[in-house]
């Protein structure tokens, strides 16, 4: 959104204007140039301009386009000119009047075209937005404006972490803080180059509190600061004596250039809502996850699941581990595989990119199945116990785990990450190649290919593969050309049970001023604390970026993780699986 441009007056030769000449109503020149005259140049006024849209008040600017004709006459052609703005998220033209609604700020280019000529000017729109929560007094902004600064009253921000990166369409955004000064009114400020948001909320004068921004407020910040950053601060005061206020140390939140797309399905348990699989469409920011296939729909416990890339099929396992399994038609949530004695069984599954086949694991044996009826097409020659498979995005390889000791498909030790080629034309398989070899005292598991197939993310722990507090997220090139690397920023510290990492389905780029840099998004379940709302121990799904070029350069390839906000905080959430889109029943 930070586009640079200059005011331009283009000379266009040999381009005739349209319309006839005549006197205007005031005796001056007509706004329509004489027939046959060329428009030599077009000027746009005002030139480079800045507007400020405040809260729900739109900012407006009238533009004038003036044409220089071949005979030297200057003619106001605003009524006949075509006006446009490069970034329509900032605002739109109504004839020659630009209107910025305040939905987003940024820097863009205004263009006027007439008679084959055009002129341009830079336009900067800044948005200042104030929201007073129902819990806070209406005069809250004035109380803070009148208060003197007192550093001893400063709150401390607990969430998010400094330099956490967020997608612009995250929807709900939370800031958590602690306060030791018995403040009962707080000003939460998000300030960037083009957006300045202030939200006022009451606290109960306890030591910790938080604010959840309305999705509309976050949308202004996210849209305005794409590819940029926001400074976050919290101020606190005591309404009984509002003469002083304290301001926290600022932290910086980074914004990605692009929205996260696709859908995520995850298993939720231990809450008031039915246990089972829930889902969220990233195109619906601010909406909570919806139940998709829970005990109520399935009639049984359903947890382990995998999605086809197009989102049309889901492989599920019932009755916990080693239970029967099925392939669902996602649009109708109905099984397409046999039931009863012929019902298949697996614990882990992965679809090929086209959704025609899936590889499944049961009792350490891996097979290739038809994704229509679940029938076995071919055994996979793994040369020993195998589990945790994941198809490559090109469909020509499977990455999985070979444990040295296993009691069940999900409980084992000494796991090595291996890759094996597969040819779906003739159902043939290549040799098993070790990508990450189990070393003494470590266990590797839950591998997954990146959307471009160049990387594999996996877990490393010092214990077994099930619910191990020492589990951390690691990354390695899929060709084994580099040593595995710990993602320090998302892992933060040990003992967080950072498990089951999976990739959001699309590659993105970030323009940080030095050219476009590719990155991906990773999700994983973690038992870490969530600011002041969760002390730790209850798994939730967290998200962080991964920058491959930084990994290859030996730099930190990631950033601190954030909690995906659509989850129910009262449930235990695991096994986030991504698909390119959420499939819903057809409209009848």
pLDDT in tens, 447-466: 999 999 999 999 999 999 99
Q: Which of 273-282, 295-304, 491-500, 502-511 has the lowest mean pLDDT?
A: 295-304
pLDDT, tens only, 104-121: 999 999 999 999 999 999
Q: State the SS3 of 188-237.
A: EEEECCCEEEEEEEECCCCCEEEEEECHHHHHHHHHHCCCCEEEEEEEEE
Short-list 182, 196, 192, CA closest to 245: 182
Return the DSSP state at 409: T
CA end-to-end distance (rounded Å), the chain:
41
Q: Token digits for 419?
A: 């890759």
Q: Which of 298, 278, 297 is nearest to 288 (CA)?
A: 278
Element (H, E) at 264: strand 263-269
User: What is the set of domains in the chain, with CATH numbers?
Assistant: 8-125 (2.60.40.10), 133-255 (2.60.40.10), 263-579 (2.120.10.30)
Residue 51 or residue 273, greater confidence? 51
> Are 518 and 508 spatial neighbours (Cβ–Cβ below 8 Å)?
yes
The pLDDT > 70 percentage for the chain reads 93
pLDDT interval class at 155 (50, 70, 90): very high
Q: How many Å is the Cα radius of gyration of the chain?
A: 29
Alpha helices in 27-125 (DSSP H): none
pLDDT exceeds 90 at position 345: yes
Q: Which pLDDT value is given to residue 319?
A: 86
pLDDT of 35 higher than 60: no
Structure tokens at 549: 């070029």
Asked if residue 10 has pLDDT above 80, the reply is no
| CB proximity list for 407: less than 8 A, separation 6 or greater | none
- pLDDT > 50? residue 16: no
Q: Whole-model pTM? A: 0.91
3-state secondary structure of 280: strand
* Euclidean distance between CA atoms 515 and 280, whole angstroms: 32
pLDDT beyond 50 at 66: yes
Q: Which two tokens stand for residue 551?
A: 């990994």
- Cβ atoms of 464 and 403 within 8 Å: the answer is no
Select from 115, 120, 121 the least CA-distant residue to 40.
115
Under 8 Å between Cβ of 494 and 468: no
Q: What is the pLDDT of residues 82-97, one digit of tens each?
A: 999 999 999 999 999 9
pLDDT at 128 over 70: yes
Please say whether the beta carbons of 298 and 267 come within 8 A.
Answer: no
> What is the mean pLDDT of the segment spanning 198-205?
89
Across 284-308, average pLDDT: 92
What average pLDDT does this structure show over 135-146? 97
Contact 37, 13 (CB under 8 A): no
Cα 293 from Cα 301, distance rounded (Å): 10
- Tell me how far apart the alpha carbons of residues 569 and 579 are, in angstroms, rounded to a whole number: 23
Residue 551 backbone class (left: φ over 0; alpha: ψ -120 to 50; beta: rest): alpha
CA pair distance 549, 505, nearest whole angstrom = 19
475-480 average pLDDT score:
96
* Residue whose entry in the numeric block shows the structure tokens 């699309």: 506
SS (H, E, C) 95-159: CCEEEECCCCCEEEEEEEEECCEEEEEEEEEEEEEEEECCCCCCCHHHHHHHCEECHHHCCEEEE
Residue 561 has pLDDT above 70, yes or no: yes
pLDDT of 225 above 60: yes
Residue 298's pLDDT is 87
Predicted local distance difference test score (pLDDT) of residue 514: 73
What number of helices (H) and strands (E) belong to the chain? Answer: 5, 48
Computed over every residue of the chain, the mean pLDDT equals 91
Per-residue pLDDT at 342: 83
pLDDT of residue 56: 75
Average pLDDT estimate for 177-191: 95
Length of the chain: 588
Residue 98, pLDDT > 50, answer: yes
């Amino acid at each position: 959104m930070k586009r640079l441009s200059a005011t331009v007056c283009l000379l266009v030769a040999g381009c005739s204007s349209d319309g006839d000449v005549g006197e205007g109503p005031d005796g001056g020149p007509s706004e329509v140039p004489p027939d046959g005259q060329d428009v030599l140049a077009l000027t746009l006024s005002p030139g480079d301009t800045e507007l400020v849209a405040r809260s729900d008040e739109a900012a407006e600017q009238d533009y004038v386009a003036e044409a220089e004709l071949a005979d030297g006459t200057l003619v106001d052609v605003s009524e006949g000119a075509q006006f446009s703005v490069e970034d329509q998220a900032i605002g739109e033209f109504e004839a020659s009047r630009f209107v910025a609604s305040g939905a987003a700020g940024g820097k863009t280019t205004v263009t006027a075209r007439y008679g084959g000529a055009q002129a341009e000017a830079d336009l900067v729109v800044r948005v200042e937005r104030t929201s007073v929560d129902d819990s806070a007094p209406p005069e809250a902004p004035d109380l803070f404006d009148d208060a003197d600064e007192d550093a001893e009253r400063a709150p401390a921000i607990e969430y998010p972490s400094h330099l956490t990166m967020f997608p612009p369409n995250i929807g709900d955004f939370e800031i958590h803080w602690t306060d030791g000064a018995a403040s009962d009114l707080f000003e939460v400020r998000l300030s960037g180059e083009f957006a300045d948001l202030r939200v006022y909320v009451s606290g109960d004068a306890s030591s910790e509190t938080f604010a959840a921004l309305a999705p509309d407020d976050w949308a202004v910040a996210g849209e305005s600061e794409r590819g940029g950053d926001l400074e976050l601060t919290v101020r606190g005061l005591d309404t009984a004596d509002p003469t002083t206020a304290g301001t926290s140390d600022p932290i910086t939140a980074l914004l990605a250039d692009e929205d996260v797309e696709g859908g995520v399905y995850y298993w939720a348990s231990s809450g008031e809502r039915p246990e089972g699989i829930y889902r969220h469409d990233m195109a619906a920011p601010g909406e909570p996850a919806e139940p998709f296939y829970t005990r109520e729909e399935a009639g049984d416990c359903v947890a382990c699941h995998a999605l086809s890339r197009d989102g049309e099929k889901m492989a599920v396992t019932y009755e916990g581990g080693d239970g029967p399994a099925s392939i669902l038609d996602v649009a109708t949530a109905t099984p397409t595989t046999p039931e009863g004695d012929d019902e298949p069984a697996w614990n882990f599954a992965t679809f090929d990119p086209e959704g025609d086949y899936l590889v499944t694991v049961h009792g350490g044996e891996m097979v290739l199945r038809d994704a229509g009826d679940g029938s076995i097409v071919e055994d996979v020659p793994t040369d020993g116990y195998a589990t945790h498979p994941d198809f490559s995005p090109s469909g020509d390889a499977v990455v999985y785990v070979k444990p040295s000791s296993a009691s069940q498909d999900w409980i084992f030790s000494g796991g090595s990450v291996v890759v094996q080629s597969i040819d779906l034309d003739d159902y043939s398989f290549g040799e098993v190649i070790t990508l990450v070899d189990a070393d003494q005292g470590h266990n590797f598991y839950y591998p997954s290919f990146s959307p471009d197939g160049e990387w594999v993310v996996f877990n490393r722990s010092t214990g077994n593969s099930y619910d191990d507090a020492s589990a951390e997220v690691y990354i390695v090139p899929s060709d084994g050309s580099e040593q595995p690397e710990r993602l320090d920023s998302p892992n933060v510290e040990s003992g967080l049970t950072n498990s089951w990492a999976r990739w959001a389905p699309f590659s993105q780029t970030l323009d940080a001023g030095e050219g476009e840099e590719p990155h991906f998004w990773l999700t994983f379940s973690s038992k870490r604390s969530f600011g002041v709302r969760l002390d730790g121990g209850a798994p939730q799904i967290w998200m962080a970026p991964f920058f491959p070029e930084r990994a290859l350069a030996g730099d930190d390839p990631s950033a601190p993780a954030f909690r995906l906000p659509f989850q129910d905080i009262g449930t235990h959430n695991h096994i986030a699986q991504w698909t390119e889109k959420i499939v819903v029943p057809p409209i009848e």
